[in-house]
Every structure is written in structure tokens, then in C-alpha cells.
Amino acid sequence: MCIIASTVVETTCLSMRFMFSGAHRVRFSGVYGNIHGHNYDITIRLCVNGRRTLIMDIDKVRHEIQGIISAFDGKYIKSMNEETRELTPNEYVEIPCIPEGATGECLAWYLMDKVLDVLRNMGISEITETQVVVCDSPINCFESSSLLST
């Protein structure tokens, strides 16, 4: 038997892609325990309810988010509790994560928090769903998603 939904919820979304190169390590992993780099591919998706012809000025939002992403380029991504005595503060970006190192999941949630801050600071309140996808290779991606009530 096939059941067809009686209620359809439509959304309009925009997606923005960003890229940067950075390094990290996850000490509990034999494979990823050494410092290694990635060319990160970040997708940020913002959605509103209904069919829309314009959600927001994508250039203004992109500019604000690019400022956050650019801080990671060419840097070591460090967990807040991770020991990195060999690095100076201008060589790393610190994010909340496990002491063993910064994971893709932690980076996705860190960027989610920053994107939500940008939207709040810009007075954009109609967003109902936000998604951040962090890909560190063509086959590994980490996602965070927030459903927001308006």
C-alpha cells in the first residue's frame, strides 16, 4: 500500500560553497593520528518556509561567512584542550572539540554556531533550517543541521 502525504511543506533554500586548506590530527586514530592536511569543501544551506523568489542578499551573507572561513585557510585546526606547544597562536584556529584533536563533526558544529551568529547579527530571522556540510575528501563529509522556529 502506498500512502501519499496530505500535507506538503514547501521550502526555498540557498546553498553557498566555500573552500579552504587546513591541517589537523585526531590522536586516538592510527590512520589520522599524525598531522595531515585537507582541502575542505564547505556547503552552507539556508532555508525558509514557502516558495520564494528571494530569501536574502546572498552576497552580503557570503561576505560575512567568508570572513569566518578565511580564518582557517593555511592553519592548523586545534581542539581547545589539545596540546600544541610547537605552534604559535597565528598558526592555528581553536574550536571546541575532544582533547585528542579537532574532528570534522566538531568543525561542522563550530561553523553552524558561527553561521547562526551571522544571521542573528544581520537581523535575518526567517530562516527555518540551516545545514553545514564539511567535506575533508571526496568520500568523507560531516553534517550539522538546525531546525529553527520563527
CATH number at residue 81: 3.30.479.10
In a domain, 98, yes or no: yes
Q: What is the pLDDT of residue 1?
A: 64
Sheet holding 129-135, edge to edge: 92-95, 75-79, 11-24, 36-49, 129-135, 141-147
**Burial class (CB within 10 angstroms; exposed 0-12, middle 13-18, buried 19+) of 124:** middle
pTM more than 0.75: yes
User: Mean pLDDT score of the chain, rounded to an integer?
Assistant: 92
Residue 148 has pLDDT above 90, yes or no: no
In a domain, 136, yes or no: yes
In a domain, 41, yes or no: yes
Domain count, the chain: 1
Q: What is the pLDDT of residue 150?
A: 59
pLDDT band at 48 (very low <50, low <70, confident <90, very high): very high
In a domain, 22, yes or no: yes
pLDDT band at 30 (very low <50, low <70, confident <90, very high): confident
In a domain, 4, yes or no: no
**Burial class (CB within 10 angstroms; exposed 0-12, middle 13-18, buried 19+) of 115:** buried
pLDDT tens per residue across span 93-116: 999 998 888 999 999 999 999 999
The residue among 9, 143, 130, 141 whose CA lies nearest residue 61 is: 130
Range of the domain at 133: 11-147
Q: Please give the C-alpha separations between residue 115 and each of 27, 28, 45, 61, in angstroms, as whole numbers.
A: 28, 29, 10, 9
Pick from 52-66, 77-91, 97-111: least confident = 77-91
In a domain, 3, yes or no: no
Of 26 and 44, the structure prediction assigns the larger pLDDT to 44
Q: What is the mean pLDDT of residues 135-149?
A: 94
